[in-house]
Amino acid sequence: AQTVTQSQPEMSVQEAETVTLSCTYDTSESNYYLFWYKQPPSRQMILVIRQEAYKQQNATENRFSVNFQKAAKSFSLKISDSQLGDTAMYFCAFPLESNSGYALNFGKGTSLLVTP
Amino acid sequence: KAGVTQTPRYLIKTRGQQVTLSCSPISGHRSVSWYQQTPGQGLQFLFEYFSETQRNKGNFPGRFSGRQFSNSRSEMNVSTLELGDSALYLCASSLAQGLSYEQYFGPGTRLTVT
């Protein structure tokens, strides 16, 4: 069965520090996309970054980058120079198995708190 | 472009009633997905519509239904509401091209069942 696992329910980091959020998944597909979404206290889900599985280069968006290990089925998110506004729930997401459409399967999330 | 909009934002219903939630996708997006978010179960996929056809359905009872109109706007309906249906209902739209599954979410509808 396809699963997306986020093993860190809560994390805390000080402002300006770097933090890494973990995600592992299971799939039999060879070509796919992976996503990290952020949900701040406002509850608005925001796409943070996406990774194409066939690309070996890790995706980067400003202070956000991923460490994608395809063989290990690992997809971690690194946040550099953490800011107070990064406080949010972070979800790893992966397309649903046998998906004839465009729906996503989400992990349980990691609650990140950035402290001054 | 305007983002995904959902109406209403907040709703209070009593057990046994039914409710209809609405979602307007980003202009040009043809796929609309619905998710239920609760503290205990997290984000769970309800269903996805593309060109007025339901393409995927999650593991929810038949009380949960949806539809999509020709302008890609979508509605979801929950009949015979139960207390456990209290949740944040999120709608997401996607351009639905190639392998790009990225979805853009609306602000959600907070449903409280009393």
Model confidence over A36-52: pLDDT tens digits?
999 999 999 999 999 98
pLDDT tier for residue A101 given thresholds of 50, 70 and 90: low
Q: What is the mean pLDDT of residues A62-75?
A: 93
* Beta-bridge partner residues of A10: A111
Pull the structure tokens for residue B38: 């609760």
Pull the structure tokens for residue A56: 């070996």
Is A71's pLDDT higher than 60?
Answer: yes
pLDDT tier for residue A28 given thresholds of 50, 70 and 90: confident
* Beta-bridge partner residues of B31: B50, B94
Report residues of chain B scoring pLDDT below 70: 97-101
Residues 47-66 of B with CB under 8 A from A: 48, 50, 55-56, 58
CB contact under 8 A, B42 and A46: no
Whole-number average pLDDT of chain A: 90
